Structure 1
């Protein structure tokens, strides 16, 4: 199928994009890289009257150093993030996860902001953003901006804190210099949507885990933090047996779906196995 007819707007600035959203209201839809939206339009699951393309807004692209944080523009493509030296040094779990997204063609078109706002619970960017304690900067009408913690950003299935007349502009990631990180993904075929995946960041002091943050993919209607595991890991030896015991709690408080790839109980089992693998790899640095 082909999409229904729509008008196309390609603003050059953030202000112009926000003005277009204000003007057209519910009739407008934002397109970033288009890797999720275009299939939806082709199947006519959504038929906006106006498409607002953010591709020309260069201020929303790139990765910068901002003291104690790395700032990622929402329109930065996956391909640009995979090998970015700042992310590799200070937030390695994010490019590690992005390297698992689909194929090179999609990684050269898809954007981190588009994926975060689309908020597919099986996507690969939500869990690492949670595990990095990132903050997301949202621009609204009249020059208003607000910052939302990653833990508050994902509200429900395909639903985030970004309002209809707002745009995600930045992802601010605290530098995790000296932390170990690992992304463990389970799929039937490489680069598919995650059946379950785990993003882990771990800081050790000697042979002991001092801090840990764990993000879970496809274990509910949104990406989730495995807080029970995080708490259980603190003070434990960075050894297989100790980590295994703590990670047995990975599925606590989750509600994973059942589908052709696996039922809910299978996903809960996977969460424990993958969390142990991710934490052990991260602890080893």
Structure 2
């Protein structure tokens, strides 16, 4: 490691002010950032911890029925507190990493980092969530912009994420056993006005929606509806854990499992 300063603001306004400092970087649970610092892949002079901001923590249900989760809320809290209001999302959070990761990592940190194999991007995109920052509200369809890329501006902080609750939903993850990340993960959600299917872990472009499956499932929400569909291997991740063709095959398999479990 190397020498750096740590600030612990107690309000969103103070955090935003601190992030205006030269070479300052926001710190959520640190599950991605701390290893990055150790490898000197990032070297901010100041870390601005968001974990002491009470207004960015907790889970509640809004007047419109949406589940609202503070940006500094840990995965473990989501797993416990959202179980009654959005079971599929809570179940997804309960299988992120291991207990140590779930008790430190935060939803805001995960979405801000947008790791191509993380679970929350699929949950947010599959739910049609709204990412709320200190400046604006961003629809999930506009928020994710490629591998590790998002619509966030410099110094912008995720303060809350709002999830419309679907009629049915489920998340299925084919786990990479060493990291507990998704080799391929699929979040499928059925709403009154259609179906959303979001895929993580598979594409070089990060999380994406499988539109062909959404169209087929809109009229028949069952695994049979996608039986004749296939996913192209073009642009899929290829590494020692699986080839592009293998990941493309897993997208269909995990989508079928998610739909069957939800239905």
Runs ≥4 residues deviating over 6 A: none
| Structure 1 gaps, min length 5 | 140-144, 205-209
Q: Does residue 150 of the first structure (1) align with residue 140 of the second (2)?
A: yes
Deviations along 1:226-246, whole A, 9 cap, x unmatched? Answer: 11111111222x45433423x
In structure 2, how many angstroms separate the alpha carbons of the residues matched to 1:153 and 1:253? 24
- How many residue pairs were aligned? 261
Is the contact made by 2:233 and 2:248 (CA closer than 8 Å) also made in structure 1?
no
User: What RMSD over aligned residues (CA atoms) do the two structures have, in Å?
Assistant: 1.9
Match of 2:149 in 1: 159
Q: Which residue of 1 aligns with 2:237?
A: 257
TM-score by length of 2: 0.93
Unaligned runs of 5+ in 2: none
SS in 2 for 1:156: coil
Determine which of 177, 193, 209 is the counterpart of 1:189: 177
Maintained 8 Å contact 2:73/2:106: yes
Which whole-Å CA distance do the structure 2 matches of 1:198 and 1:99 have between them?
Answer: 15
Which residue does the alignment assign to 2:14? 16
Cα 1:254/1:154, change in 2 over 3 Å: farther
What is the DSSP-based 3-state SS (H/G/I as helix, E as strand, rest coil) of the residue aligned with 2:182?
coil
Return the TM-score normalized by structure 1.
0.86
State whether structure 2 residue 101 is matched by structure 1 residue 113. no
Looking at CA atoms only, which structure, 1 or 2, has the larger radius of gyration?
1
**Aligned partners of 1:228, 1:6: CA distance in 2, in Å?**
48
Q: Once the 2 structures are TM-superposed, how far is the Cα of residue 211 of structure 1 from its aligned partner?
A: 3.0
Equivalent residues of 1:203, 1:211 under 8 A apart? yes
Q: 1:83 to 1:45 in 2, by over 3 A?
A: same
- 1:129 and 2:113 correspond: no
Q: Is the 1:18–1:167 contact (alpha carbons within 8 Å) kept by the matching residues of 2?
A: yes
**Alpha-carbon distance between aligned partners in 2 of 1:54 and 1:213, rounded to the nearest angstrom:** 31
1:33 aligns with 2:32: no
**Alpha-carbon distance between aligned partners in 1 of 2:160 and 2:14, rounded to the nearest angstrom:** 17
What are the residue-to-residue correspondences of 1:1-285 with 2, within 5 Å? 3-22=1-20, 24-25=21-22, 27-68=23-64, 69-84=66-81, 87-139=82-134, 145-176=135-166, 179-189=167-177, 192-203=180-191, 211-220=194-203, 221-236=205-220, 238-245=221-228, 248-249=229-230, 251=231, 255-283=235-263
